[in-house]
Structure 1
């Protein structure tokens, strides 16, 4: 799970950087839509970076660590597809990437559900 911590740190840094960029460099009414996309992407990316750290912190304490690893991978897929799609749309205007974002959203949901199942198994055994 060392890789999860590394990726969490990188995702956290990217999210904060892009959030700051959106707040400052994208200010202005002509960029409001793009700025909103970047802010939303950065928000979701940061939340899931923190979740990756939390998963890495508890992975060895849970009997079924495969579920936690799968949850971490699902969240990484969510970051790439959901946040990545929002960033691509914001910076390029290619709205076709809107079709990619739901894949990431589903991956986020799957990740959280896998985390829930791992927690349930931890406390039911």
Structure 2
């Protein structure tokens, strides 16, 4: 049936059921290896390990971004929210931190896109501009950089759309 290297996968009852699904659903999970005399069914997961090195950089960027989001979230919870700041600034800080986390997770999916360089660059730049300007405004109260926030938001929207291409 399948080579010994994938035997552990076939012992899972859920995997066996997915493999029995109709061709359309099964294609989402399984791909057939071509070029050999015997058609072997291999998991798509193995094919995903062949991600180009330039796309893996976005996983590293996501790691740094995630660590930064956690640190800024902790600062917000333990220092920023306890100080006497206007409620509007606290909401802006919370929005920036939420978007920071969400788009950090989006960066993890970038290597699976058809055009990872485009999607990753747009999402990383959009996150930096959108969240950076929101953090700056919330922490300083200065509206000098708030004019650039919509540009970061537009980059995020285009980044999400480029993941669908």
TM-score, with length taken from structure 1 = 0.79
The Cα RMSD (Å) is 1.6
* Structure 2 unaligned regions, length at least 5: 1-54
Higher relative contact order (CA 8 A, sep 6+): 1
Q: How far apart are the structure 2 equivalents of 1:7 and 1:106? A: 20
User: Corresponding residue for 1:123?
Assistant: none
Say which structure is richer in helix: 1
Moved more, 43-52 or 30-39: 30-39
Confirm or deny that 1:42 pairs with 2:90: no
Question: What do residues 30-61 of structure 1 show as CA deviations (whole Å, max 9, x unaligned)?
Answer: 323332222211111111111111112x24xx
- Per-residue deviation, 1:29: 6.9
- Counterpart of 1:120? none
TM-score by structure 2 length?
A: 0.62
Runs of 5+ consecutive residues of structure 1 not aligned to the other structure? 60-64, 118-125
**1:82 aligned to 2:82?**
no
Alignment: residue pair count: 110
Residue 163 of structure 2 is aligned to residue 108 of structure 1 = no
Task: Say which SS state the counterpart of residue 145 (structure 2) adopts.
Answer: helix
Separation in structure 2 between the aligned mates of residue 3 and residue 115 of structure 1, nearest angstrom? 16
**Structure number with higher strand proportion:** 2
